[in-house]
């Protein structure tokens, strides 16, 4: 690991929020619970949205469901990133040496990029206007489903390595 990165991570570990989390089992528990809850919010929103976009779930009109589920998933992602960063600060050097953590971060980045591409693409506007998903949108929904579920599995894998 480069010295500059090691120094930055040691500084992160020495910051007050990281120290507070290490010293308080209750605070760590609450932040960890918030992280798990936010992951539940993300996965609980993105899975039905992706399944609906794939045509495997038909509970209601896509043009109505898609914006609500997408916003809820975005809120879950934002909270998961915030709480995850706080948890990372407790032991950053150890996490960066954990292959499951690296896989999780790669999948998280790919999932976020895919979500960004969906929101920027014409196919999303078509979903909102016409309530139908194109072939490209279905492919992105399938990729989303695999990326986010893979991220979830990799996150649980961290504790086993």
pLDDT tens across 89-126, in order?
999 999 999 999 999 999 999 999 999 999 999 999 98
Q: Which residues contact 58 (CB under 8 A, 6 or more apart)?
A: 52
State the pLDDT at residue 57: 87
Confidence bin at 53 (pLDDT 50/70/90): very high
Tell me the per-residue pLDDT of 62-94, one tens digit each, with 9 for 90 and over: 888 999 999 999 999 999 999 999 999 999 999
State the pLDDT at residue 89: 97
Q: What is the mean pLDDT of the chain?
A: 94
Contact 77/42 with Cβ under 8 angstroms? yes
Contact 9/30 with Cβ under 8 angstroms? no
- Report which of residues 107 and 2 the model is more confident about: 107
Q: What percent of the chain has pLDDT over 90?
A: 84
Would the CA dihedral through 84, 12, 105, 67 be positive or negative? Answer: positive
Joined tokens for residue 132:
């139908």
pTM for this one?
Answer: 0.90
Is it the case that residue 131 has pLDDT exceeding 90?
no
Confidence bin at 1 (pLDDT 50/70/90): confident
As a residue count, the chain comes to 161
In angstroms, what is the C-alpha Rg of the chain? 18
Would the CA dihedral through 63, 69, 75, 81 be positive or negative? Answer: negative
Joined tokens for residue 61:
């009109």
């Amino acid at each position: 690991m480069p010295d500059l990165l090691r120094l930055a991570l040691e500084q992160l570990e020495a910051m007050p929020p990281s120290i507070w989390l290490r010293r308080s089992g209750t605070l760590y528990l609450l932040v960890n619970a918030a992280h798990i809850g936010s992951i539940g919010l993300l996965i609980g929103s993105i899975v039905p949205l992706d399944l609906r976009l794939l045509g495997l779930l038909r509970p209601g009109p896509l043009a109505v469901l898609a914006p609500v589920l997408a916003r809820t998933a975005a809120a879950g992602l934002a909270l998961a990133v915030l709480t995850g960063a706080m948890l990372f600060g407790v032991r950053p050097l150890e996490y960066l040496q954990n292959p499951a953590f690296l896989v999780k971060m790669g999948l998280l980045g790919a999932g976020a990029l895919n979500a960004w591409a969906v929101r920027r693409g014409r196919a999303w506007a078509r979903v909102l206007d016409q309530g139908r998903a194109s072939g490209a949108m279905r492919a992105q929904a399938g990729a989303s489903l695999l990326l986010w579920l893979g991220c979830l599995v990799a996150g649980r894998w961290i504790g086993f390595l």
